[in-house]
């Protein structure tokens, strides 16, 4: 199991917890994350260069290139974060 450490959370996150947390940033309630929502999530979690990180994550996870992360792509997003050595610090 991978854990993600953050400045703004009291405990490391599991993969499922990270998915649930990211979904909370879906401001439109449509079940999809756009790059701006992802950037805000990363910023709130204390990630440096959150705009660049959001761009890179979107580029890798948005398989149909519609500019949105949906359910099946959320798994790809978390998987990408783990392969990248992604730590929320």
| The pLDDT of residue 54 | 93
Mean pLDDT of all residues in the chain?
Answer: 81
pLDDT in tens, 16-34: 888 888 899 999 999 999 9
> What secondary structure does DSSP assign to 14-32, as a single string?
PHHHHHHHHHTT-TTSSS-
List the one residue out of 42, 76, 40, 45 whose CA is nearest residue 59: 76
Q: How many CB atoms lie within 10 A of CB 19?
A: 15
Q: How confident is the model at residue 88 (pLDDT cuts 50, 70, 90)?
A: very low
Give tens-digit pLDDT for 30-74: 999 999 999 998 888 777 888 998 999 999 999 999 999 998 899
């Amino acid at each position: 199991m991978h854990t993600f450490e953050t400045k703004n959370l009291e405990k490391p996150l599991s993969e499922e917890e990270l998915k649930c947390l990211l979904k909370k940033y879906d401001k439109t309630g449509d079940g999809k994350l756009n790059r701006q929502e992802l950037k805000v999530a990363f910023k709130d979690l204390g990630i440096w260069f959150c705009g660049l990180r959001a761009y890179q994550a979107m580029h890798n996870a948005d398989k149909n290139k519609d500019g949105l992360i949906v359910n099946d792509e959320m798994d790809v997003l978390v998987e990408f974060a783990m392969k990248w050595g992604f730590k929320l610090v």
